[in-house]
Copies of this chain bind each other. A is one copy, B any other.
Amino acid sequence: MADRGSAKIGVCYYPEHWPEDMWADDARRMHKGGIRRVRIGEFAWSRLEPEFGRSDFGWLARAIDTLHAEDLGVILGTPTATPPKWLVDRMPDMFAIDLHGRPRGFGSRRHYCFSHAGYRRECARIVTALGAAFGQHPGVVGWQIDNEYGCHDTVRSYSESALLGFRHWLKERYGTVAALNEAWGNVFWSMEYRNFEEIDLPVGAVTETNPAHRTDFDRYSSDQVRELNRVQTDILRVLSPGRDIVHNFMTFHSDFDHYDVMEDLDVATWDSYPLGSLDVFPADPAHKAAFARTGDPDMQAFHHDLYRGAGRGRFGIMEQQPGPVNWADYNADPLPGLVRLWGLEGIAHGAELVSYFRWRQTPFAQEQFHAGLILPNNETDRAYAEVQQLARDLIKLGDLGATAPAKVAIVNSYEARWFLAIQPQGKNFSYVEQIFSIYRALRAMGLDIDIVGPEANLSGYALAVLPSMPYVPPLLAASLEGFEGQLLVMPRTGSRTASHRIPTNLAPGPLAGLLGIKVTRVESFRPHSAIRLVFEGEHCTFDRWREFVTVTEADIVARVDDGRPALTRKGNAWYLAGWPDATLLALILRRLAGEAGLALESFAPGLRTRRRGHWCFLFNYGPEVADISGIVRGELVIGEHVLPVGGAAVWREGPGN
């Protein structure tokens, strides 16, 4: 996408939506706006193959040439998220099937089942043709596979293809049905199977199905995403050597394992819609109101760090919100400056691409309410100027340098999300809310954070947090044993085996020795039925969840009001026996960060920093103008000491930092 240590500005463009005689001017204005990358083609199948057996790649060749002529590197999308009508009519069983047995049909997008072998073949066919035609074009610098896997709840399908695939997958996993029956505990309600052909998908039963059954189906479904993705990458590796292959991931999406999919990709890009994503997030109304026009101060940063980790250091923003969007419940306008700020924040976190969605607002079809850089009448919209400012910022910053490893790590696990969604035990137990609250608390102290996967190497981190992870894989357990930094383990960790069973030694299962505790009971509560405790002189609570911990070798650092352990430690391994409120979480993390020797800040609610190379970035998400003179430790190359809401400042960090 870009040279290491630098970053490019991009845009998403749909030449097929506009008369060909507009293309050259579009390209010229893109370049003038500082844009150097253009993503195209990802929904254009019906123009590439207007009908069965007839293809038309000429227009796309001309579009690429036009962009290339303006020095715009093309990221070419494979169009597999929108198979055309003639194709689906040839294999109508390719649709995903919903929970109620209904096909998820044609008329919008993502209308396919990941398990369908015929559709995989069609994907291979069109990708081969595209790769052959454009794989070596000098203007093509990268490929995007498909578009937003999982959007509109499309990972899990209850089709015949999925059923047959799942049975095969189970056979591979368990070998014998007796082993499966044993692993799942099917004796429980006479759910035992005599052969794999008796196994249905975990849907349509009278009440909840076996959680082990659902866990394996979640794993199977995730694997199919990787399979369909790999069908395409395998082809493009051959036909388009040297180009980066990417996918554009989403906000807080959990239905497939992004780390698995990334094994076949080069750069983890994601689609950043700060206002829309905050609008649909389960935050409290006052918080939503405070940041309705700036976006949450941590949500974008969280995903930058998440996808930088998933991309083994390489990530970018493939779609950046340029104004109001069309898809949230309510769609506010960003404050002036935010379109540039969001881009700059991506760069601060290491993005090598900040690509805005979209070039020109569409005047037709589903997304007419989605702003662009250019209005439908071809006048520039507000965002165009902010993108130009971002381009000027990049020039000022010059060589950005690489993103250094952080001192703090949060371990993220998609499998944990599935486990906790299958049996939340309390309706308000949300993995996403928990990991995000941990991230927010650490970041509000001014820390840079890495978000790493469950197989990451933690050595070198001064502080690591392990959010609730019911099943702890052996590799991670071993890694944690040897970890020398401070480690905070959240409740429910180690409470299940790979087969979604309670470990024979109870929770925390494989971490029992490390943590020196045993969990004998758990409880969940209604909102506002909190358990109270005093920690470092502050009145705090456990909301949502708490556990009854028996200490075997650990020290009890804090107790709840009824005297039971709230926080334990055994050396550097801490265990928190409940869901902390924001105050408690911040205090505990500050305590551990202190033990880890980290320098901490105390920022105003909407101020956030990030370091990249020798640059230190500071962003003001509001709601107040901020005097940042006490924070800045060098000469500002961007911004002023009085930072408006939506403003950004950058300085070169002195040797003392």
Contact = CB atoms under 8 A, between A and B. Distances in A.
A506 B368 CA distance: 11
A521 B382 CA distance: 10
Q: Which of A84, A107, A279, A425 has the most CB of B within 10 A?
A: A107
A192 interface: yes
A108 B521 contact: no
A107 B207 CA distance: 8
B192 A366 contact: no
Nearest to A329: B427
Interface in A348-406: 361-369, 371, 375-377, 379, 381-382
A213 interface: yes
A191 B107 contact: yes
Interface stretch (A197-205, A228-236, A588-596): A197-205
A553 to B, nearest CB: 17
Interface in A228-284: 279
B524 A206 contact: no
A522 B285 CA distance: 22
B377 A506 contact: yes
B324 A523 contact: yes
A125 to B, nearest CB: 15
B190 A79 contact: yes
A188 B362 contact: yes
A187 interface: yes
Contacts of A83: 190
Interface stretch (A95-103, A483-491, A613-621, A624-632): A95-103
A194 interface: yes
A331 interface: yes
Q: For chain A, which range describes its interface: under 10, 10 to 19, 20 to 34, or 35 or more residues?
A: 35 or more
A292 interface: yes
B43 A189 contact: yes
A212 interface: yes
A481 interface: no
Contacts of A363: 185, 501-504
Interface in A330-347: 330-333
A188 B506 contact: no
Contact of A522 (B205, B369, B425): B369
Contact of A108 (B198, B209, B332, B361): B209
A108 B329 contact: no
Q: Which of A43, A51, A188, A203 has the most CB of B within 10 A?
A: A188
A121 interface: no
A526 B289 contact: yes
A104 B211 contact: no
Contacts of A111: 205-206
A524 B332 contact: yes
Contacts of A382: 521
A521 B206 CA distance: 42
Contacts of A103: 204
Contacts of A500: 364
26 contacts: A16-B187, A44-B187, A44-B190, A46-B190, A51-B194, A85-B193, A101-B102, A106-B191, A107-B191, A108-B207, A108-B210, A110-B207, A152-B206, A152-B207, A154-B206, A189-B366, A207-B366, A210-B366, A288-B526, A326-B425, A329-B526, A331-B524, A333-B521, A364-B500, A368-B502, A377-B504
8 closest A-B pairs by CB: A185-B364, A107-B205, A188-B365, A46-B190, A363-B502, A82-B190, A333-B523, A185-B365
Interface of A: 16-17, 43-47, 50-51, 79, 82-86, 89, 96, 100-111, 151-152, 154, 184-194, 198, 200, 202-213, 279, 285, 288-289, 292, 323-324, 326, 329-333, 361-369, 371, 375-377, 379, 381-382, 423, 425-428, 499-506, 520-526, 528-529, 548
